[in-house]
Structure 1
Amino acid sequence: MPPPHSSAPPPPRPAARPFRPRAAAAMEPAPRFSFGVIADVQYADAEDGHDFWGRRRRYYRHSLRLLRAAVEAWAAERPPPAFVLQLGDCIDGVNARSGAAEAEAALGRVLAALGRLRVPVHHAWGNHELYNFGRARLAQSGLRSRPPPGPGPPAAPPGDCHAYHFCPAPRFRFVLLDGYELSPLGRDADSPRRRAALRLLREKNRNADLNNPAGLEEPQFVEFNGGFSRAQLDWFNDVLRFSDENQEKVVVMGHLPIHPDASDEVCLAWNYRDALSVIHSHQCVVCVLAGHQHDGGYCLDSHGVHHLTLEGVIETPPESNAFGTIYVYDDKMVLKGRGRISDRVMCF
């Protein structure tokens, strides 16, 4: 995604040794489980480029090397993470300029790198995946990570929405949202869903370039963002109601941030307020994880929900990195960041 208007990225932090929580020394229980997080790899077999405004360097080839380094680090952890969240934009839109074969090759290299892990990888779909492929192709690719249905509410919303939930441990549920279900991206030119998304976008954005937020009252209404359908939000509400009733803690994830204090306004989901309204009508959500804004962001909202936006790999210098492991306890999540991503304790 085009990043916010900001200065050059901060200098890299020194490389950290693999984190192994020592519960005995801290006199607290061991973590229930851990999982890896990474966002905005945006790999392409191309020379370095720049962001939408020509201000920030993008390391297209090095991003794959950094992904491979993250995989090696996760594989070396003891115990290893139970799964990894890839928060979208794993390949860059520049691949599409060279044709479908180049896009398929780039995706194949990213999936091969992640395939070295012996744990599940859950994939959000971002705008850059949709620059390269239609939704039908993504649904048949290695980026369709939906697990088999289990007990509880419906596993997914109706239609081609790439949203689902899963339980990695008792009393913990993860919900993946599809922030581009409402979007012209990835849909056929004559698709009614595409036409409806374009009508909404043009009502909110009268600029000739629909990726230009200049002068907008709601600057999130640009084409590189998207939104959630009413059907998806109703399904999301049902999942959270089930989690409330069963005293579960819920982590929400997706490509697009949904809180303005954890993101530049330009990078928010179109109808982020609707998603927040669903979350705040329940007690179970403890954290929302997102990518899209390459500088990252964080806030603890007025309802006690942590919103963490991960820094993007694509704008990370080759000598650094941008990934992390989150250790989950009964009352908190502890992020051990690598490179540009800072350590963080999120209590709930």
Structure 2
Amino acid sequence: MTHKIAILGASGYTGAELVRLIATHPSMEIVALAANSKAGMAYEDVFPHLRHLALPDLVKIEEIDFDNVDLVFCGLPHATSQSVIKALPKSVKVVDLSADFRLRDPEEYVKWYGGQHDALECQAEAVYGLTEFYRDDIKNARLVAGTGCNAATGQYALRPLIEAGVIDLDQIILDLKCAVSGAGRSLKENLLHAELSEGYHPYAIGGTHRHLGEFDQEFSAIAGRPVKVQFTPHLVPANRGILATVYVQGDAQAIYDTLQKTYADETFIQVLPFGKVPSTRHVRGSNFCHIGVSGDRIEGRAIVTAALDNLTKGSSGQALQNANLMLGEEENAGLMLAPCFP
């Protein structure tokens, strides 16, 4: 069976990544690509690296006949996404890559995103899209909310440890290095080459980053009590990748054993041998996440490191992984591309 796919927001980085991945999928066909600002353009004129594919031209969302669509990937900005998804036919499955349906509490959405949610009925049915931990719910979902890329990286490192009780929940420091594509494709002065290259800098200092809403929601639910991590992201002059360095209190061997046991049967989560550390260059362009555990010179402390590609496992690859479950396909279909190195 061939599934008919539409991608909304197809002129962004996550849209292009979806097209790249779906091109290798055995049972998906892209029937519509929407990008209102570039409607009427051939896709190869927006992304020349995909000119070898036979793709429909870009159109406006209202021009798409959703009766001919099985599943929609929505790569629109938050606030825009909710109004568009609310208007889609209920017969269409949706994977949203924005932040609009990640937070279950509407008041938390107001807190972190600064505006009232306009699609509360959809928000109530949305399933959080961290595939390895919500797999059964995702299989039966109509609407799946993709995680934030930073939020995914931190959770892969920490969720099993919180659940197993092998770390001090009040002593978690999460330091992330994030590539520039995570900020999207829109023109921004601080992302110009001359502004960004040859240095890196922290941002959202002191607990203001929006992905903290996801950490608070997920970690507190696992622990059964409030858990707040100390989190600082850093923007690095690289195109792709996130590297998380997580400082925790607990026995390093117990932490390693917990992660290894949790992910032993997971295709896309690879726990490295004890003491080995991951690198973003080793997961680039892939749907894999590499996790390492090291002991610290201070007794009773450990360092957990995790690396993934923010556009693939952190966003579009995760979205395709979830879509496969929603459509009854093999979970890894279209996603077994090896990382690109060097």
TM-score of the alignment, normalized to the shorter chain, above 0.5 = no
Q: Which structure: greater helix fraction?
A: 2
TM-score by length of 2: 0.33
Task: Indicate the structure whose relative CO is greater, using CA pairs within 8 Å and at least 6 residues apart.
Answer: 1
Please give the TM-score of this superposition, normalised by the length of structure 1.
Answer: 0.33
